[in-house]
Every structure is written in structure tokens, then in C-alpha cells.
Structure 1
Amino acid sequence: MVAKITVGTSLYGALAYNGMKVNEGEGKLLAGNKVFDDGSGRVDIARAEQDFKRYMPENVRTRNKVIHISLNPHPDDRLTDMEMESLAREYLEKLGYGDQPYLIFKHEDINRHHLHIVSVNVDENGRRLNKDFIHRRSKRITTELERKYGLHPADRRQHRNDNSLRKVDASQGDVKRQVSNTVKAVMATYKFRTMGEYRALLSLYNVTVEEARGMVNGREYHGLVYSATDDGGNKVGNPFKASCIGKSVGYEAVLRRFEYPNAQIRDKRLADMTRKTVAAVLDRTYRKDEFVALLKAKGVDVVFRHTDGGRIYGATFIDHRTGCVLNGSRLGREFSANALQEHFTLPYADTPPMPFTLTRDEPQAEAHTYVEHGESHSTGLGLLGGDASGAQAEEAAFERELKRKRKKRRKGLGL
């Protein structure tokens, strides 16, 4: 069983993402603690938010008051809803969140059924719960539960490369719901620091976002507009204002999202993992298509931006293993757009090897005996001797031409 823990500030975003799954028939609410449940099988997101906030004093120093946990049993573990609920409750108890308000959701929108848990990081007095080594403690707990209940050991590498989000498909209808689910999931799962990184991430799932600015009653406003796209990045259907989807994906929420990933990426050295992976793949190939495929197999997507002439002017790496979205220049100069463009356009990088053929040896006309002469005489070889008339002169010119071409080629390769 693999546990993925995310802390953040958006309580409504976490509740809306999971609650919408339940209300649209793509999940179930399995259990809750200190949060009202009317037993209808649906989630009243606004009411749940109010209940949680009763345990979240506003004037506290802890910034990331929300914790969102994903529990992923091995696909071969066929567990009932009651068994999954029991596992989640025991996991929370051992982690120190058993007395906290929480909701346990089961997601059924992909074949690999899994759990999501929303809780809070502070007690009723506003004191932060002990988060020291929380990931290490979580790993120890999941290992204990696997042994206790005879579950399959977690395959973390497989889980890291498994991206459960699906592309928006306008032909399937209800585009607004598809776009809404995608952007809420992205906001709850990934770390990004610029609008460009956010837009590159959304493009993986056939969604784009644009900023909208204007004046209303003499006041300036900023907003976001989301649109579905096809695989080529072309918009399809009608756009949707962020306000039609929810405030968790609005302009202010996205700006707040930009603020806190820096410390997480720095403290956990998350960028180092991505940097090493990209560097290793670059060492293996000079072909862009192969570079993209090799990275994808390791759980990293790359989004290139090209000029009309086909030149790379932007590159963003999305590491699904760590949930980090990183512009190439943030990883280092060698991963910037210009560096990648040069890497993929080195001389002969995309050119198949030239066929090499051997000519058939012609029979020798007549063997000559080599006789050494003085300095003023020709050696009879023609290419190096003093006599350069006739055929020998042509051979000497040919040799000089070959040398000149070799020099030019070496200069062209920077040698």
C-alpha cells in the first residue's frame, strides 16, 4: 500500500475535488469523523467545509492547515469497502490523526480503486500536529499494515509512474465536468510556481487556461478562463470561467498556489531527482522523440513550446513521481530551451549513418621496385616527390582537396 501525503492551504479545493467524485458517481464516501454525514451517499461540500473550520482557528501561525492523503493498495489486493475503511482508520490512528476531523473517500473512476483522506493539521487550539518525519512514519505504518493483513508489498516505483488523470475528451460530452475534475485534481496534486508551468501541466490533459482582465464599474478585475483542447492544443467547445467551476481554481487560488512550492521543492530536494533523471536521458540520445519517450517511461513528461519555424523556445518538465512542475531553466542552464535546441540539432544528430561500401580491388598492372635516390630526384611515388607532372599532379591536387575538406568538416564539428 502506497501513501502519498500533501499539505496545503485550500480546504475547499480538497473537499470539492473528492466531493464531486462522489456526487457524480465516480466514488463513495466511506466514513467521517466529527463531520456531518446525512447518509444520502452524497457530500454537502459547503456544510463539510463549515464543520472542518470549527476545528481550524483562523488566527494561527500554521500556514498549511490541510492534509490530503492518498492511500493506494496493490491492484492485486481485492478489498471490500469495509476493509478499506478499517485500513484507513487504523492508518490515521497510528499516524496521530485519529481524533482529528476527517473524511475518507473511495475513488472508483479508474480500475485501481484507492482512497483519499482529507483532514486538518492543527488541533482545536491552533497548535500544529507533529509533522516531523511524517513521510518516514507513514512508510513504516503502511509496511506494518501490509504484514498484519497479508497485503501485497507496495510497488512505489510503479505507483509513481502511474498517472490516474485522464485527458479531456470533448467527444464524450459533459466537457464542463471533465474540465472541472481535471483542474481540481491538478490543483490538489501538483506543485507549480508560474502560470506558464500551470498551463504546461494542464496541456497534458487537453486543457488550457488564459488570464482575463478588464474593468467593471471602474474597478479592475483579474480572472481565469479554462477551455478544452484537442491533442494538437486547439480549443474545442465553449470556454468556462473559473467562477463556474469553483473558487478553488480561480485566479486568487492559483496565485496562492504559486507561493509555497519553493520551500517544499528546496527542502525536500525534489528538483534534484528530476534533474538527475533528465540528465541521464540526455546522455543517452540526441533525438527529441526518443528523449520524450525515455523520460515518459521514467514517470516524467516534457512539454516543448516551438516557434513557427520549429525551434524550441520553452521546455517544462512534469515529474509525476514528485508532483513537481519545473521549467527547464529552473533545473539548470544545460536544460534551458536554447541548450536543448542545440542538443537536438547537432550536426548529423538526426541523420541516419551513411552507407559504407568497399570497392573491389583492381588487379595490379606491374610491380615496381623501390629504389632510393638523392634529394634532387623524384621517388617515383608522385604525391610527395619533386616531379608533379601529368597523373601525379592530378593525384597531388586530389590529396590537397581531401585535406581541405577534412579541415572544414572538423571546424564545423567544433573540433
Structure 2
Amino acid sequence: MIAKLIVGKSFGGCIRYLLEREQSKVLDSAGVRDYSIKAITSDLNAQRRMRPKLGNAVGHTVLSWSNEDRDKLTLEKMEQHAREYMEKMGIKNTQYITVLHTDKKHPHLHIVYNRVDNDGKTIGNFNHWHKSRKICREMTERYGYHLGKGKAKVNRQALKGNDKLRYAILDALNDIMAKATTWKQVETTLAKYGIGIQYKYRSGTNEVQGISFEKDGVKFKGSAIDRKYSFAGIEKQLSENRAIGITHSTTENRTLADEIREVLGQQEQRSDTYEAGMGLLGDLLNMPASIEPEPDPNWRKKKKKPEEEKSRGISR
């Protein structure tokens, strides 16, 4: 059992993502009229108005189990595990809705909750990645579920050479892709880690076909870092982040220590054995500015370069 933690601004976008598909089912809810997207969104937004300055009021957790656990799970057990997880995480006295998705091979569900609780207080998220990892592992062991052996378990300090560089790029991307909504944000933040991007174009066109990452003079294809970090995979994740209202920078006060703890929590929590899938949304409900404008689709087009540089690709 693992958890993917998300915060965002748009209840409308998030609820539409959860329920605008045939392969979804409401398992549990509290404090909302769960018979329609409009009613759920209206109820959540009504409560968030008690703290209008809290931009990221949307709490969204994806709980996932290995496909090996499918025979052990029932809808009742998944609902109970979601409630236990929320209780241990301190998600109490607030509105929430739990939705099952059956569009992936592995069992998973989504919990969306209001970070403005029933008394108008904020449900904090300090150190929540690290806390969630511990809770998931404890519950996994107690209920006898499968423990994944993903890249998060690799001992970074023991790595050398290209393996060390590859995992440094992986860890940076894991951190960045949890928050980024545009390619510019990805490029700018990767540069701070000393990592460059090179795009591969389809022959004779300006269409991007692939992507590579470079660190300390060593280049890796995106898919060699992780399958989800191909060009198409990153493009999909950025679109999903925009759709569910993730913001690149939070308006809440955070210390450097908070950010370091969050990065460490994300690194330990990621698993390539199984992960919750996300989908795309159309238009969002009319909400306060929740999504960054779409980037200009032409910005990645190949620029004219001197003759001797044409074969190198673009590196930013």
C-alpha cells in the first residue's frame, strides 16, 4: 500500500476528474451531497470560504495497492483502510469523498478532502509525506499486503558512476513533477540541479519525438531514467497537474527544512512497481484562479542555428 499526496486549488477540477468516467464509484463521503459533481463542489467551496486566504484548500490522496493484493481486497476493506489512513494522518472533522477507480490493473482509490475543517481551521500538511510513508508501511505489514521493491529502496550512497547520475536525475524529476505545470518550470528547476534537457525532433519537422537528460556530461534518454519520464509521459503529467489544480509554488509559508523533508518523503515513497494513474480533464468549473495559462505551443519549436550546431539538438 502506498499513497500519493497532492494539494491544489480547484475542487471543481478535482471532482470532475474523479467522477467524469464510467469506471468510478463513490465508496464513502462526509459533509457533502455525493449525488452529483455540482453538489459536491458547491458544498466543498462553501466550507472553504471560512478561510478565503488558504489557496491550496484541496487535499487529494491516492491510495494504491499492488495487483498481487487484489484477491485480498474488497470494497469494504478499501473503504475501511481509507478511513484508518485519514484518521492516522489527522484528516478529521472535515468534508471528504472517497472514490474507487477501476481503470488500472492495480487497486486504487482517491480521497479528496477539504483542508478547511468543519470549524474553519486549517488541516496542516507539515511533514505529511514522511508521516504518510510510515503509516502506509505499518498498514501494509499489519494487513499482510505486498511490499513493493521499487527504485525508492535503492541505496543512493552506494551508487557510483552513471548509476549515481541516473538516480540523481530520477530524484530531481520525482520532486519536480509532483508540482510542475509547464515545461518552462521543469527546465528551470532542473537547471538548478545541474541537469540539462535535450529534445529530439522528428526528421524534417518541428515535432518533438523524444527527450534526453544530461548531467556532468552524461546523457540519458528519458525512458532510461523511468518509463514515465519519456517526453509523452512528462507532457501527460503536466497536463494532469494543470487539470487537477496543482500549483508550482504554494502561498503558504514554508521553511527550507519543510521543503527538504517533503523531497525526502517523496523519494522514499515513490515505487515503480505500481502507481496510481491520473487522467485528463476538460474545462474546469468557474473557480478562483486555479490553473496557470497553457504555455505557447510553439515555444518548443526548433530554432534556427548556425550550420555547425544543427546536429546537436536543443539543450536548455
TM-score scaled to structure 1, two decimals? 0.43
Q: Which of residues 276, 300, 325 is equivalent to 2:229?
A: 300
| 2:126 aligned residue | 132
| 1:57 aligned residue | 49
> How much identity, in percent, do the aligned residues show?
25
Query: Cα offset for 1:51?
Result: 2.3
| 1:278 aligned residue | 213
Q: Which of residues 24, 35, 38 is equivalent to 1:46?
A: 38
**Residues 279-322 of structure 1: per-residue CA shift (max 9 Å, x gap):** 2597257xxxxx3553553x31226xxxxxxxxxxxx955969x
Query: Cα offset for 1:98?
Result: 3.0
Query: Cα offset for 1:29?
Result: 0.9
- The secondary structure found in structure 2 opposite 1:13 is helix
| 2:102 aligned residue | 108
Conserved 8 A contact 1:33-1:102: yes
Conserved 8 A contact 1:281-1:295: no
Question: Measured at CA, do residues 282 and 105 of structure 1 come closer, stay the same or move farther in structure 2, by a change above 3 Å?
Answer: farther
Question: Measured at CA, do residues 28 and 301 of structure 1 come closer, stay the same or move farther in structure 2, by a change above 3 Å?
Answer: same
One-letter amino acid of the structure 2 residue matched with residue 101 of structure 1: Q
Please list every run of 5 or more consecutive structure 2 residues that lacks an aligned counterpart in the other structure: 153-176, 198-211, 243-247, 249-299
- Measure, in 2, the Cα distance between the counterparts of 1:271 and 1:120: 33
Q: Which of residues 11, 27, 31 is equivalent to 1:30?
A: 27
Query: Cα offset for 1:72?
Result: 0.9
Map 1:350-361; keep pairs closer than 5 Å. none
Query: Cα offset for 1:342?
Result: 7.8
- The secondary structure found in structure 2 opposite 1:132 is coil
One-letter amino acid of the structure 1 residue matched with residue 144 of structure 2: G
- Measure, in 1, the Cα distance between the counterparts of 2:54 and 2:144: 38
**Residues 361-388 of structure 1: per-residue CA shift (max 9 Å, x gap):** xxxxxxxxxxxxxxxxxxxxxxxxxxxx
Conserved 8 A contact 2:181-2:241: no
One-letter amino acid of the structure 1 residue matched with residue 145 of structure 2: L
One-letter amino acid of the structure 1 residue matched with residue 230 of structure 2: D
Question: Measured at CA, do residues 50 and 284 of structure 1 come closer, stay the same or move farther in structure 2, by a change above 3 Å?
Answer: closer
| 1:3 aligned residue | 3
- The secondary structure found in structure 2 opposite 1:68 is strand
Conserved 8 A contact 1:11-1:49: yes
**Residues 103-127 of structure 1: per-residue CA shift (max 9 Å, x gap):** 1111001222211111111223433
| 2:76 aligned residue | 82
- Measure, in 2, the Cα distance between the counterparts of 1:273 and 1:128: 36
Q: How many residues align?
A: 212
Map 1:153-164; keep pairs closer than 5 Å. 153-157=147-151
TM-score scaled to structure 2, two decimals? 0.55
Map 1:98-247; keep pairs closer than 5 Å. 98-157=92-151, 191-194=179-182, 197=183
- The secondary structure found in structure 2 opposite 1:112 is coil
Conserved 8 A contact 1:271-1:324: no
Query: Cα offset for 1:324?
Result: 7.7
Conserved 8 A contact 1:60-1:127: no
- Measure, in 2, the Cα distance between the counterparts of 1:7 and 1:121: 9
Q: CA RMSD in A?
A: 4.1
Query: Cα offset for 1:7?
Result: 0.6
Query: Cα offset for 1:131?
Result: 1.1
- The secondary structure found in structure 1 opposite 2:38 is helix
Q: Return the structure number with greater relative CO, CA threshold 8 A, min gap 6.
A: 2
Query: Cα offset for 1:15?
Result: 0.8
- Measure, in 1, the Cα distance between the counterparts of 2:308 and 2:102: 45
One-letter amino acid of the structure 2 residue matched with residue 74 of structure 1: S
Larger radius of gyration: 1
- The secondary structure found in structure 1 opposite 2:68 is coil
Conserved 8 A contact 1:281-1:294: no
Query: Cα offset for 1:191?
Result: 4.6
- Measure, in 2, the Cα distance between the counterparts of 1:138 and 1:273: 30
One-letter amino acid of the structure 2 residue matched with residue 279 of structure 1: E
- Measure, in 2, the Cα distance between the counterparts of 1:301 and 1:67: 28
- Measure, in 1, the Cα distance between the counterparts of 2:308 and 2:241: 25
Conserved 8 A contact 1:2-1:155: no
Conserved 8 A contact 1:300-1:320: no
Question: Measured at CA, do residues 68 and 48 of structure 1 come closer, stay the same or move farther in structure 2, by a change above 3 Å?
Answer: same
